[in-house]
Structure 1
């Protein structure tokens, strides 16, 4: 699986990220097999959040308990987690960030996070509080790199007025069938066209300019949690016909082609795979190493319902 550096850092990361929000009810053996398959296919990045799993830090705790990583193994992987979502509200206060990270470290049974992301934008954010928390976490060796999730460029710029560390990553929702971050720029300034509405401040372009790595969550979802589009012949007949055609051409699954569509973008976007099945993980992962032609990339784009003016 191809690798590249995370943002401006020297941290080498895999094209795919294993998302672990659904492992709370898995056995130790099932988690170990999933982790083992991820490592086998070349994945070295493992994604958590304090809220995953029903109870706070539940998925982090299952990961830590099941794997109990030895120092040599821990050094070979990248563990990232997110904080900021609380029951009924968002919280980027210094105290909450510090407390959340300490609890994540305890649950994961590790001394440090490679990457900490602020989960969803807090409208009441005070950048100085975030900066103070980040400084303390970095000085203590608890977090090595920092980033955000679901943030717009201007929200990132607001954080940068106080935060001193580079913000090296932004995790956003992106798939062929949910691609406003890409589709807007193609149809910018086209009056009366829904696609021409800028919904995120051109986050893809901003990330390329500022050397932030984007991570695509829900890479197989249509709309906002509207269901999986791969295999949905009712709503996406043309897209699925083309996915199957290209899957046959490249000798991979339709899901791997859907992955390859994201991976083809020159922004080096990581793809977050949330499956709990080792077999499905092995089925999707080959998409990381397929380079779609420009023509095929745009064919998939239009087959998903997007417009080329």
Structure 2
């Protein structure tokens, strides 16, 4: 069965940053490929058919081991949606890492990703980080070329504010459909920016106010990276918020992971969590976030927020 190719229709995405071995340039191993295959199979069994990459993950090895699995699994490519990102250059020797959204670089990075992933097309390409030196006209030309050649179906951004996306979209003919941000019960600046407006605490929140509203008004789906906050609220029971999450999971007949994901999915902005764990048991623990609607009342949602922030709302 073919996957829904519009990434905005997916309720959960599997993040592949943890695949491919170490963060180094050493070759990946057969064990790394097997690890990737197990993670992919577990995600599919949990109803997850969209997979998120970036050209820099594990120095390209995340895409490469995923490509190995695609090559050995007949029909798998047609069952999934592939998303990748470009725009970050990793440190190299004495040269520090930097951002690079020059047109030629975008084209080259996409071609390299396609080779590693062993596919002819990316369903989605995201621009990974804002590049202060980027020429929006040059970006527009690169994206138009990728779309016209059938190499990329849809485009989006990552870690950008509403005004940054609006400025870019003014030059880009193809619509931008995704903005991927860090969002979780632990990383709440995206949420608190709105309620802290007109309070003394507003200056301590660096999130660009109005970004969520701008994305919603312009058909841009929000994706949340690190939505489980690296297990902060699901693998321990020694804090008030952890106990609250565990108690809600018991009452709802689900897992702590699902409660944390439901908290994001319940927000009306429309948020798709990108779950990056590679442990099969933790991937499986997220399946209710695919197969069930967020079962949190208005009061339960606020209880999670206020408990996590550790202070009353203004």
1:228 to 2:232 alignment: yes
Alpha-carbon deviation of 1:11? 5.4
Deviations 1:167-212 (A, max 9, x none): 000000000121111122123212x225874522322111111110
Instruction: Give 1:123's match in structure 2, choosing from 132, 145, 148.
Output: 132
Q: Residue 36 of structure 1 corresponds to which residue in structure 2? A: 41
Matched residues in 1 for 2:77 and 2:69: separation?
Answer: 14
1:300 to 2:290 alignment: no
- In the alignment, is the contact (CA less than 8 A) between 1:258 and 1:287 conserved in 2? no
Higher helix share: 2
Aligned length: 294
SS of the counterpart of 1:136?
A: helix
Instruction: Output the aligned Cα RMSD.
Output: 2.2
Seen in structure 2, the aligned counterparts of structure 1 residues 201 and 126 have a Cα distance that, compared at 3 Å, is farther
1:145 to 2:154 alignment: yes
* Unmatched segments (≥5 aa) in structure 2: 22-30, 91-96
> Comparing 60-69 with 86-95, which one deviates more in the overlay?
60-69
Instruction: Please give the TM-score of this superposition, normalised by the length of structure 1.
Output: 0.89
Q: Residue 69 of structure 2 corresponds to which residue in structure 1? A: 66
Q: Residue 78 of structure 2 corresponds to which residue in structure 1? A: 75
- In the alignment, is the contact (CA less than 8 A) between 1:17 and 1:270 conserved in 2? yes
- In the alignment, is the contact (CA less than 8 A) between 1:188 and 1:196 conserved in 2? no
Seen in structure 2, the aligned counterparts of structure 1 residues 121 and 260 have a Cα distance that, compared at 3 Å, is same
- In the alignment, is the contact (CA less than 8 A) between 1:47 and 1:81 conserved in 2? yes
SS of the counterpart of 1:114?
A: strand
- In the alignment, is the contact (CA less than 8 A) between 1:31 and 1:63 conserved in 2? yes
SS of the counterpart of 2:85?
A: strand
Q: Residue 96 of structure 1 corresponds to which residue in structure 2? A: 105
1:215 to 2:223 alignment: yes
* Unmatched segments (≥5 aa) in structure 1: none
Instruction: Please give the TM-score of this superposition, normalised by the length of structure 2.
Output: 0.87
Alpha-carbon deviation of 1:44? 1.1
Matched residues in 2 for 1:280 and 1:271: separation?
Answer: 14
